Amino acid sequence: MRRVYVIGSALTKVGRHFNKGYKELASEVIDKAINESGLESVDLVIVANMLSDSILDQLDISTILMQNLGMTKVKALHIETGESSGLAALEVAWTAIKSETAEKVLIVGVEKATEYPTYKINKVYSKVLDYETESIRNITPPDYAALIMKAYLRKYGLKREDIAEWPVKMHENASRNPYAQLNFKVNHEKVLNSMIISDPIRLLDTFPIGDGAAAIVLASSKETGSSKAEPVELVHTSSAVSVQVHLRDDLTKLPATAAVVSDLRMKFNEKMINEAAIELHDSYSIYAYLLIEELGLAARGEAPKIINELEFINVSGGLKARGHPFGATGVYQVAELHKLMTSGLAGRRFDGKYAIAHSMSGPDYNARIALLQRVI
């Protein structure tokens, strides 16, 4: 079967780009990624974006983007699966190449989340939950993160301060990442005294609202074009859906993530996860702890003890500090891992064989995973 290679990637700093629209942000990363790949053209463009309808007043964003960038000879698609849209775009691109319907695919993740005040963005973002049963009744994603965090603390007899290390680590990582939105350092005291969002979730447990764009070029052959970066193979993509929070027997488990991790374990060497560089979806710091446990990097309830032993986990600073431009985030993760495995990211280079991107929407309503492998 055909193989899929990442032959180019580009990203822009996540932040408040008031002077740039989505077209400008996307154009910049498309040019850079295509240039790195050495390609003249691609067969298919997939745009990952979550807020185009509600915030940009734009339907069919992939068509409009292609029209504006003089790319009308290319097939284009828009993918939206909430916060995990970026990895969903990657999944579709992977399938297109594997099935021989495309040879060269450009994935663009773009989001403009700062076009309106935060309370409006909060409202729209809350629609990743079920409108008819949850968001219409004013239930929001941080509320769920708070309920899940309290359940975790109770189950394992932990105190709030026992799980304040994650944001500190993420801000430390982000301080070295030129593409991160929050590149300042914080300490435990600052985390624990920051503003309450949904108790016990505080401001420094959550991601900042920011704009961003990232792009990846995938191709069926590593010799395609004249790639300036070392090729990395995209060997696996997978996704799963879980039930709503109120239908779960145990709040401390993330069922969709468990399913994609189990799939990964079945297909690859079990030890691979322990040795991989990982970017995971820490939209709220409690999720980082649960995800580390779902990935098998720590026993249940033990994640807080091993946070500082994890070296190549969210080198970018994660959603927490690199930022979370919603639909673009999954594309960021893969672009960051690609950089980390090739030219380097945040002053570091990962020499290991595997890298994993994990993304989810809401409280694990869907989860997606992508596995990169160094080409030897």
Cβ–Cβ < 8 Å for 11, 213: yes
Of the pair 59, 136, the CB lying nearest another protein is at 136
Q: Does 113 bind another protein (CB under 8 A)?
A: no
Q: Does 118 bind another protein (CB under 8 A)?
A: yes
Q: Does 136 bind another protein (CB under 8 A)?
A: yes
3-state secondary structure of 284: strand
Q: Does 286 bind another protein (CB under 8 A)?
A: no
Q: Does 114 bind another protein (CB under 8 A)?
A: no
Closest approach, Cβ 245 to another protein, in A, equals 7
3-state secondary structure of 323: coil
Exactly one of 2, 18, 67, 120 binds another protein (CB under 8 A); which one? 120
**Element spanning 48, H or E:** strand 44-48
Which range, of 80-88, 193-201, 291-299, 310-318, touches another protein by CB under 8 A? Answer: 193-201
Of the pair 154, 228, the CB lying nearest another protein is at 154
Which range, of 53-61, 78-86, 96-104, 122-130, touches another protein by CB under 8 A? Answer: 122-130
Exactly one of 2, 16, 137, 305 binds another protein (CB under 8 A); which one? 137
Distance CA 23, CA 213 (A): 10
Which range, of 76-84, 149-157, 275-283, 306-314, touches another protein by CB under 8 A? Answer: 149-157
Q: Does 310 bind another protein (CB under 8 A)?
A: no
Closest approach, Cβ 117 to another protein, in A, equals 9
Of the pair 195, 266, the CB lying nearest another protein is at 195
Q: Does 147 bind another protein (CB under 8 A)?
A: yes
Q: Does 57 bind another protein (CB under 8 A)?
A: no
Q: Does 158 bind another protein (CB under 8 A)?
A: no
Cα dihedral 166, 169, 172, 174 sign: negative
Q: Based on the number of CB atoms within 10 Å of its own CB, is 60 exposed (0-12), middle (13-18) or buried (19 or more)?
A: middle
Q: Does 245 bind another protein (CB under 8 A)?
A: yes
Question: What are the structure tokens assigned to 152, written together?
Answer: 């975790």
Cβ–Cβ < 8 Å for 34, 42: yes
Show Cβ contacts of residue 141 under 8 Å, excluding neighbours closer than 6 positions. Answer: 125, 126, 128, 129, 283, 284, 362, 363
In the chain, which ranges are continuous DSSP H helix?
22-37, 52-56, 61-68, 85-98, 118-125, 141-155, 165-174, 188-193, 255-267, 272-275, 285-294, 303-306, 318-321, 329-341
Exactly one of 146, 218, 254, 367 binds another protein (CB under 8 A); which one? 146
Q: Does 9 bind another protein (CB under 8 A)?
A: no
Q: Does 192 bind another protein (CB under 8 A)?
A: no
- Show contacts of 54-61: CB within 8 Å, 24+ apart: 54/124, 54/127, 55/112, 55/113, 55/115, 55/116, 55/121, 55/124, 56/22, 56/112, 56/115, 61/22
Q: CA dist 30 to 10, 33, 66, 108, Å?
A: 7, 5, 11, 7
Which range, of 81-89, 127-135, 278-286, 344-352, touches another protein by CB under 8 A? Answer: 127-135
Exactly one of 36, 91, 111, 134 binds another protein (CB under 8 A); which one? 134
Exactly one of 19, 40, 70, 132 binds another protein (CB under 8 A); which one? 132
Question: What are the structure tokens assigned to 245, written together?
Answer: 């929070």
Q: Does 139 bind another protein (CB under 8 A)?
A: yes
Of the pair 101, 133, the CB lying nearest another protein is at 133
The residue whose two tokens read 């060497």 is: 269
Cβ–Cβ < 8 Å for 241, 256: yes
Q: Does 157 bind another protein (CB under 8 A)?
A: no
Torsion of CA 223, 217, 25, 210, to 10 degrees: -130
Q: Does 244 bind another protein (CB under 8 A)?
A: yes
Of the pair 320, 358, the CB lying nearest another protein is at 320
Interface residue list for another protein (CB under 8 A) = 118-120, 122-123, 126, 132-134, 136-140, 142-144, 146-147, 150-151, 154, 195-201, 243-247, 251
